[in-house]
Amino acid sequence: MSISEELYERACRVIPGGVNSPVRAFQRMERAPFFVTEARGAHLRDADGRELIDYVGTWGPAILGHAPRCVLQAVQQTATKGLSFGTPTPVEVDMAETICRLVPGIQKVRMTSSGTEATMSAIRLARGFTGRSRIIKFAGCYHGHSDSLLVAAGSGALTHGEPDSAGVPREVAALTIVLPFNDVEAVRQAFKRFRDEIAGVIVEPYPGNAGFFLPRPGYLEFLREITEQNGSLLIFDEVMTGFRLSPSGVQGLHGITPDLTTLGKIIGGGLPVGAFGGRAEIMDCISPLGPVYQAGTLSGNPVAMAAGLAQLRELERTDAWSRLEFLGARLEEGVRQFLHDTHLPYVFKRCGSMFCLFFTSEDVVDLATARKSDFATYRRFFLSLLDQGIFVAPSPFETGFISTAHTEADIDATILAFSRALRP
Ligand code: KE4
């Protein structure tokens, strides 16, 4: 029995499913998860000493690779002065000023300790600011696990959602309308039906939680227009894409200013973090200034702030986004080259350092088309890559992440491993 297998046995006795977040369990991958003991740059080392080239990147935060020197130094320097004070600290102001400088839509920002808290708070704020109760989200977009957002399209999809988890009351789910992503008409119908009842529309502008796919041209601009016309707030959930796809996320790429933006992952440098921000007029409704309550013991934790700031400063100093695009394009070109020769049905989606390989012949534009990707082929692909020392997401409904620590040699080795994994 390997050390990871022993650890997994122990973990399953005291942690539900042996993991502290479900995706780590490698469900339906027909093998137990491995346990990581350390990581540096683009490489993980598991409990049995195996080295892996990592494309999970702890689900987004490791944009500079693991344990970048600048982040480690910031953590050490900050931690020696204390870990948490329950008072405001200078580094929280530095972080807030940096986010407001970089993200066009954010004039004021509140830190949290997770993306879930950020989106949950943004929804409450949208409801408090507009005085309305309904929200619209999109199938396949994941915004963390708060009750209002763990909702699936119900039978009456255009009228109300249904719980997507046990424990979510039907009454709560009924206030969430779940629509297909990229479907303009569905949004028009929902606003036609509930015009002045919709507090907000929350969207992953480039969805990364059902695999990775992109909005059709004009779709995001349409969401901006129809929410403005109906007095609803547009909420861009950029927990994954924020500072990943550009210095100002997707909203910077499209020149769209949402009313609220949620952030996480990269701004914590690998430590627990989330944030929500937007127009001052809206954010000033948040306590202690306004009537919408929101709080957190470790919100703006100084060590997490120092780690995230060090990461953001390094991204800017090195113009990391150019390097990430170069590496992403190299991977895409190599993958397309060999896949073209295999005649396998596939769809490869990429923007910068986020990518996803679907095994389907139909273009992927929403959850329904993403689900047509062949699961068994993905599982074989995942297991073969792992045997070859490459770690990609243990689910076809996730996104691959490249970091600035990946080298051309890593990318070329990965292309070779992909071709071997998919050899007919
Ligand atoms: P957290 O609560 O996990 O920090 O953030 C929730 C969240 C919100 N919004 C978006 C767009 C997200 O991608 C996430 C979390 N992403 C998943 C990755 N698919 C986290 C991995 C996990 O659940 O363990």
Domain boundaries, the chain: 3-67+320-421, 69-317
Classify each residue of 206-227 as buried b or exposed e, where b means 16 or more C-beta atoms within 10 Å of its C-beta: bbbbbbbbbbeeebbeebbebb
Q: Which of 46, 54, 147, 237 is catalytic?
A: 237
- Token duo for residue 400: 């691959």
Q: Of how many residues is the chain composed?
A: 424
> Does 346 score more than 70 pLDDT?
yes
What mean pLDDT is predicted for residues 415-422? 95
The answer to whether the CB of 280 falls within 8 A of the CB of 115 is no
Q: Please report the pLDDT score of residue 160 as a whole number.
A: 79
The Cα-based distances of 1 to 5, 7, 37, 46, 129 in angstroms read: 6, 10, 17, 14, 56
pLDDT digits (tens, 9 = 90+) for 216-229: 999 999 999 999 99
pLDDT digits (tens, 9 = 90+) for 131-157: 999 999 999 999 999 999 999 887 766
Q: How confident is the model at residue 366 (pLDDT cuts 50, 70, 90)?
A: very high
The Cα-based distances of 190 to 112, 156, 267, 324 in angstroms read: 31, 11, 34, 38
Please tell me whether residue 195 adopts helix, strand or coil conformation: helix
- Is 108 annotated in the active site? no
Q: Please report the pLDDT score of residue 333 as a whole number.
A: 97
> Does 358 score more than 90 pLDDT?
yes
| Single-letter code of the amino acid located at 239 | V
Is the four-CA dihedral 353, 359, 365, 370 of positive or negative sign?
negative
Ligand 1 atom 15, closest CA: 144
What mean pLDDT is predicted for residues 24-36? 95
What mean pLDDT is predicted for residues 230-239? 98
Q: Please report the pLDDT score of residue 329 as a whole number.
A: 98
pLDDT digits (tens, 9 = 90+) for 171-181: 999 999 999 99
Please tell me whether residue 131 adopts helix, strand or coil conformation: coil
Mean pLDDT of the chain: 96
Cα distance between residue 402 and residue 332, in whole Å: 12
Cα distance between residue 201 and residue 193, in whole Å: 15
Q: How confident is the model at residue 340 (pLDDT cuts 50, 70, 90)?
A: confident
Query: Exposed, middle or buried by CB within 10 Å (0-12, 13-18, 19+), for 2?
Result: middle
Query: Exposed, middle or buried by CB within 10 Å (0-12, 13-18, 19+), for 325?
Result: middle
Tell me the Ramachandran region of residue 57: left when phi exceeds 0, alpha when psi lies from -120 to 50, beta otherwise: left
Choose the CATH number for 69-317 among 3.40.50.11400, 3.40.640.10, 3.40.50.1100, 3.40.50.620: 3.40.640.10
Cα distance between residue 200 and residue 31, in whole Å: 41
> 205 CA to middle of ligand 1, Å?
14
Mutate to test the pocket of ligand 1, among 116, 150, 213, 397 (most ligand atoms within 8 A of CB): 116
Q: How confident is the model at residue 347 (pLDDT cuts 50, 70, 90)?
A: very high
366-370: long-range pairs with CB below 8 Å, 24+:
366/138, 366/139, 366/140, 366/180, 366/181, 366/182, 366/183, 366/210, 366/213, 367/139, 367/140, 367/180, 367/181, 367/210, 368/139, 368/180, 369/213, 370/140, 370/210, 370/211, 370/213, 370/396, 370/397
CATH 3.90.1150.10 fits 3-67+320-421, yes or no: yes
Q: Which of 8, 55, 142, 378 is catalytic?
A: 142
Q: Please report the pLDDT score of residue 19 as a whole number.
A: 97
CA 187 to the chain's CA centroid: 23
- Is 237 annotated in the active site? yes
Share above pLDDT 90 across residues of the chain, in percent, rounded to a whole number: 93
- Is 142 annotated in the active site? yes
Q: Please report the pLDDT score of residue 344 as a whole number.
A: 83
> Does 415 score more than 70 pLDDT?
yes
* Ligand 1 binding site (Cβ under 6 Å of any ligand atom): 21, 23, 59, 114-116, 119, 142-144, 204, 208-209, 237, 239-240, 264, 274, 398
Closest ligand 1 atom to 21 CA: 24
DSSP strand pairing (134-138 vs 198-203): parallel
Cα distance between residue 135 and residue 232, in whole Å: 9
What mean pLDDT is predicted for residues 93-104? 97
pTM recorded for the entire structure: 0.98
Share above pLDDT 70 across residues of the chain, in percent, rounded to a whole number: 99
Q: Please report the pLDDT score of residue 341 as a whole number.
A: 82
Q: Please report the pLDDT score of residue 154 as a whole number.
A: 72
Instruction: Round to the nearest angstrom and report the end-to-end CA distance of the chain.
Output: 32
> Does 424 score more than 80 pLDDT?
no
pLDDT digits (tens, 9 = 90+) for 255-278: 999 999 999 999 999 999 999 999
> Does 45 score more than 90 pLDDT?
yes
Query: Exposed, middle or buried by CB within 10 Å (0-12, 13-18, 19+), for 160?
Result: buried
What mean pLDDT is predicted for residues 46-72? 98
Q: How confident is the model at residue 195 (pLDDT cuts 50, 70, 90)?
A: confident
> 145 CA to middle of ligand 1, Å?
9
Q: Is the peptide bond before 88 cis (omega within 30 degrees of 0)?
A: no
Q: Please report the pLDDT score of residue 398 as a whole number.
A: 96
Q: Please report the pLDDT score of residue 298 as a whole number.
A: 98
The answer to whether the CB of 332 falls within 8 A of the CB of 355 is yes
What mean pLDDT is predicted for residues 109-119? 98
Q: Please report the pLDDT score of residue 382 as a whole number.
A: 97
Q: Please report the pLDDT score of residue 157 as a whole number.
A: 65
